[in-house]
Amino acid sequence: MALLERTAAPAVQAPAKAAERASAGDILRTVIIAAALLMFFLPLVATAIFGFSLPGQGFTLDPLREALAGTTIGAQLLNTLNLAMLSTAGSLVLLVPTLLFLHLKAPGLLRFTEWLSVVPYVVPGIALVAGANLFFRAVAPGFMVSLYSLVPFYMVLTLPLVYRSLDAGIRALDLRTLWAASESLGAKPWQSIVHVVLPNLRGALLGASLLSCAMVLGEYAIAALLLHSTFPVFMVQVGMNEPRAAAALSFLTILATWLLLAVLARSGSGKTTAKGGSR
Amino acid sequence: MTRDSAEVVLSSISKSYAGKKVLDNLDLSMKPGELLALLGPSGCGKTTTLRVLAGMETPDAGSVHIGGADMTHAPVRGRGIGIVFQSYSLFPHMSAAQNVAYGLRLAGASKSRRGARAAELLEMVGLAEHAQKHPGQLSGGQQQRVALARALAIEPRVLLLDEPLSALDAQVRVHLREEIKRIQLQSGTTTLLVTHDQEEALTIGDRVGVMLGGQIEQLGTPEQLYCTPRTAFISEFVGAVNRISATATTGGVQVLGKLLKISNPQTAPASATGLEALVRPEDLVLRADAAGAGIVESAVLRGAHSSIMLDYQGRTLRVDLPTHEAAAFAPACRVSVSVRTGAVLIDSAKTAAPAAAPAPLHHPALGRIA
Ligand SMILES: Nc1ncnc2c1ncn2[C@@H]1O[C@H](COP(=O)(O)OP(=O)(O)O)[C@@H](O)[C@H]1O
Ligand SMILES: [Mg+2]
């Protein structure tokens, strides 16, 4: 940034023609950004206005309150939060040791697993559900009834993001050397993980968790297909009869997701400045 | 300070990566308490040897004995070794003191004992006032000192140092290697120092092993390696050397008009012609001589001694002598050259043009007389 400003400064003293051209470019840039922001925020603001107002009444929470009255939003919200927590914890417990093992003992396999981790992006959710349905109906018919049968689906769904986030965090460390150092000082593998690896992966763990939570908080298709009542499913049901309440709810959800992402960005940048600031 | 310093024996170690033999039937033994420097060009298998000894690699064949016990398949943590790595390996989230205390913490030492020991070790490496700093706030040299203190904290029976100084500035490197030697003497720990720097190996090693192609070419005291190298490779690797043409005669070789014994009868080529004698710059003697075959080209001051570069029958020779004597040989001065020693190492002449031949590491490329 500082560099940009410094290089931009001489342009001010440059011949008038160049300055004119630069300012024309500036205007164009501003217009494009303004248009993009407008197109991005207008629907959002419209959603908020639609959701939080009634004709002739201005700002009001009435539509939301009415729609929620007599429903069990608390239960659905709790369901979704539970699912988010369980899926995230499950993903981390599964992926952290796996990735550590791959990086330490089988780095050659990483290219394959990286490719594998993208598969959930390619396979549509409905195919996953249909396949699992066929399998579990034959093997364990009761399984799909439980709300928590969604956890493995969500772990698969969030795999690409969680994998990438953790992998990047591990690559930023000199894992082999740190591991060998810890081991030579007498650490068993779990001690190396707890005392050395996890503290240095904090940023990546937080990032992976937030991404996974954000994804689960917004997941509709699979939950609806398996007839589970989660918050996104609830929102869609509300929207059928109460469009204003649905708009208000979805606006709030977007806001919450953004807050999560902001926390993520903060933790990420905090880590890099701490690194760059030292020495 | 150390409980016991162990004897280390590697016997017939072989190790291949993807069909490429990195260690080839390697034998190496270390006496209790000695500092053995393992010297060799990059990629010759030094780090692999160290990793096999540490237990971070399992050899395909051969055995590792530490203190008399077979440790070939023992895990790293059971071997009683301390390691300082080539790359900075301090735990970034811990302070210097916490890094040093880490091994003791794992061993279940009390907090006060850990603190006291960490302070003592940081004092020993001269970093007492930096105890609370994190690795990111320490210079490279300071980080390696902390790493050394950390490795010694667990009172290892064997200390392994893998090119611990190679990432540091020349000045820090020289200072720190003296310090490593002092600390090693003080603790009496059997130590393996891996390096590709011949000066480092010769100055601080009790013994030096020269490695090439996955084997130990020669193992001996620095004097033995420098004065009686077994092969031409070792001679050129551990110091500067002149190649001078020689002819075999009965009872030895004729070099610069003098009959000399062959110091390497086992490895010397059998042919009578196409031979070169390898003579160190300080083993050549100059005499001002108007009829001499050498012409002084330049003098290079190196401190206490200087190097005179000669043109001798079309090739460049280097002669080292005390600086106060070097003043007598001004450029363009004619000199005669003779050999001081009674025995020389013989190798077959290198046919490649000197310019095309890659210069061995760490010493100036020297010409040779055809
Ligand atoms: N884990 C490994 N996988 C494949 N090849 C390796 C591995 N470790 C070392 N090598 C190869 O073995 C050779 C010797 O390596 P190394 O012992 O690190 O050499 P040095 O430390 O003497 O520079 C090199 O050619 C290197 O490429
Ligand atoms: Mg190495």
Q: How do residues B260-270 score in pLDDT, each as one tens digit?
A: 998 888 888 87
- β-bridge partners, B37: B193, B208
- Going from the Cα of A166 to the center of ligand 1, the distance in angstroms, rounded, reads 28
Find the B84 Cα to ligand 2 centroid distance in Å: 12
**What total number of domains does chain A contain?**
2
């390497």: which residue's tokens? B264
Are A26 and A125 found together in one domain? Answer: no
| Helix A150-171 × helix A202-217 angle, to 10° | 150
Burial (CB < 10 A; 0-12, 13-18, 19+), residue B179, is: middle
Residue A279, pLDDT > 60, answer no
B287 has a pLDDT exceeding 60: yes
Q: B323 with B301: CB under 8 angstroms?
A: yes
Tell me the nearest-neighbour CA distance from A199 into chain B, angstroms: 7
Between residues B57 and A126, which one has the greater pLDDT?
B57
The stretch B37-46 carries a mean pLDDT of 93
> Chain A contacts of B71, Cβ < 8 Å?
none
- Taking 60 as the threshold, does the pLDDT of residue B85 lie above it? yes
* B-chain residue closest to A180, CA distance: B56
- Residue A161's pLDDT is what? 92
Q: Check residue A146 and report its DSSP letter.
A: S
Question: Who among A181, A188, A199 is closest to B89 (CB)?
Answer: A181
Scanning every residue of chain A, which has its alpha carbon at the shortest distance from the alpha carbon of B80? A184
Chain A contact for B46 (CB, 8 A cutoff): no
Q: Residues A219, A113: one domain? A: yes
CA distance from start to end of chain A: 21
Give B86 Cα–ligand 1 centroid separation in angstroms.
Answer: 14
CATH of residue A191? 1.10.3720.10
Average pLDDT value for residue range B92-116: 95
Q: For residue range A41-71, what is the model confidence (pLDDT) as tens digits?
A: 999 899 888 888 888 888 888 878 887 777 7
Domain ranges in chain B are 8-226, 244-351+361-368
pLDDT over 60 at A2, yes or no = no
Asked if residue A131 and residue A30 are part of one domain, the reply reads: no
Domain that holds residue A21: 11-41
Residues A86 and A179 in one domain: yes
d(Cα B188, Cα B207) in Å, to the nearest integer?
15
Which pairing describes strands B81-84 and B158-162: parallel, antiparallel, or unpaired? parallel
Report helix, strand or coil for B182.
Answer: helix
In the predicted model, what is the mean pLDDT of chain A?
A: 84
Q: Are residues A149 and A193 in the same domain?
A: yes
Q: Taking a C-beta distance cutoff of 8 angstroms, is the pair B225, B212 a contact? A: no
CB B207 within 8 A of CB B34: yes
Which amino acid, residue B263? Answer: S
Give the model's confidence band at B357: pLDDT under 50 very low, under 70 low, under 90 confident, else very high. very low
- Classify domain B244-351+361-368 by CATH number: 2.40.50.140
The verdict on residue A62 lying in a domain is no
- Among B17, B77, B117, B152, pick the best mutation site for testing chain A contact (most A Cβ within 10 A): B77
A175/A250 same-domain check: yes
pLDDT for position B286: 92
User: Which pLDDT belongs to residue B364?
Assistant: 40
Distance from CA of A276 to the nearest CA of B (A): 9
Is B190 a residue whose pLDDT tops 60? yes
A52 falls within a domain: no
Please give all residues whose beta carbon lies within 6 A of any atom in ligand 1, as ranges: B 17, 22, 40, 42-48
Chain B interface mutation, best of A178, A184, A197, highest count of B Cβ atoms under 10 Å: A184
What's the number of CA atoms in the CB half-sphere (13 Å) around residue A181?
31
Say how far apart CA A194 and CA A182 lie, in whole Å: 11
In A, minimum Cα distance to B88 occurs at: A177
pLDDT score, position A19: 59
Least confident of A181-190, B343-352, B355-364: B355-364
Q: Kindly report the protein residue whose alpha carbon is nearest to atom 21 of ligand 1.
A: B47
- Examine the pLDDT at B34 and tell me if it is beyond 50: yes
Please indicate, yes or no, whether residues A77 and A37 belong to a single structural domain of this protein.
no
Flag whether pLDDT at A225 surpasses 90.
Answer: no
Q: Is residue A60 part of a domain?
A: no
Q: How far is the CA of B23 from the centre of ligand 1 (A)?
A: 10
Give the ipTM: 0.79
For position A17, what pLDDT does the model report?
Answer: 61
- How far, in Å, from the CA of B40 to the mean position of ligand 2? 10
pLDDT at B365 exceeding the cut of 50? no
Q: Are A240 and A229 in contact (CB under 8 A)?
A: no
Nearest alpha carbon, ligand 1 atom 16: B45
- The helices-and-strands tally (H runs, E runs) of chain A is 15, 2
How far is Cα B22 from Cα B61, in angstroms, rounded to an integer?
12
Contact B103 A185 (CB under 8 A): yes
pLDDT in tens, B290-341: 888 899 999 999 889 999 999 998 889 999 999 999 888 989 999 999 999 8
More confident residue, B278 or A58: B278
What would the mean pLDDT of A87-115 be, rounded to a whole number?
94
Query: What DSSP line would sit under B18-45, residue for residue?
Result: TTEEEEEEEEEEE-TT-EEEEE--TTSS
Query: Please, what is the average pLDDT of chain B?
Result: 88
- Closest residue to A191, CB basis, from B56, B106, B151: B106
- Enumerate the residues of chain B whose CB falls inside 8 A of the CB of residue A178: 89, 91
Which residues in chain B are contacts of A191 at CB distance < 8 A?
106
Give B135-186 pLDDT, tens digit per residue: 999 999 999 999 999 999 999 999 999 999 988 888 888 989 999 999 999 8
Q: Is B202 on the interface with A (CB under 8 A)?
A: no
User: What spacing in Å lies between the alpha carbon of B11 and ligand 2's midpoint?
Assistant: 21
Of B77, B103, B137, the CB nearest to A278: B137
Cβ contacts (< 8 Å) between B154 and chain A: which residues? 185-186
What order of strands is seen across the sheet that includes strand B69-70? B20-30, B8-17, B61-66, B69-70
Are A168 and A30 members of one domain? no
A9-29 pLDDT tens trace: 444 444 556 556 667 888 999
The verdict on A33 and A106 lying in the same domain is: no
Report pLDDT digits (tens) over A175-213: 999 999 999 999 999 999 999 999 999 889 988 998 898
**Per-residue model confidence (pLDDT) at position A146:** 87
Enter the pTM of the model. 0.79
CATH superfamily of B8-226: P-loop containing nucleotide triphosphate hydrolases (3.40.50.300)
Q: Which ligand is nearest to the CA of B162?
A: 2
**How many Cα atoms sit within 13 Å of B86 on the Cβ side?**
14
**Distance in Å, alpha carbon of A189 to nearest chain B alpha carbon:** 10
Q: If you write DSSP's letter for every residue of A194-234 in order, what string do you get?
A: IIIIHHHTHHHHHHHHHHHHHHHHT--HHHHHTT---HHHH
Separation in Å, CA of A185 to nearest CA in chain B: 5
How far is Cα B258 from Cα B249, in angstroms, rounded to an integer? 11
Is A169's pLDDT higher than 50?
Answer: yes
Does the pLDDT value for residue B7 go beyond 70?
A: yes
Cβ–Cβ under 8 Å, residues A184 and B82 = yes
Give the residue among A92, A100, A77 at the shortest CA–CA distance from A173. Answer: A100
| A65 located within any domain | no
Chain A residues with at least one Cβ partner in B under 8 Å: 174, 177-178, 180-188, 191, 195-196, 199-200, 275, 278-279
- The tokens describing B103, both together, are 């091994």
Measured distance CA(A84)–CA(A216) in Å, rounded: 5
> Would you say residue A59 lies in a domain?
no
Instruction: List CB contacts of A228: < 8 A, sequence separation 6 or more.
Output: A79, A147, A150
- Count interface pairs A-B at CB distance under 8 A: 69
| Residues in Cβ contact with A95 at an 8 Å cutoff, skipping those fewer than 6 apart | A159, A162, A163, A166, A208
One domain, residues A16 and A122: no
% of chain B residues with pLDDT over 90: 66
pLDDT (0 to 100) of residue B360 = 40
Check whether residue A216 and residue A175 sit in a common domain: yes
Q: Is there a contact between A184 and B77 if contact means CB atoms under 8 Å apart?
A: yes
Indicate whether A95 and A22 sit together in one domain.
no
A188 contacts in chain B (CB < 8 Å): 77
**Closest residue to B106, CB basis, from A177, A185, A278:** A185
Tell how far the Cα of B163 is from the centroid of ligand 1, in angstroms.
14
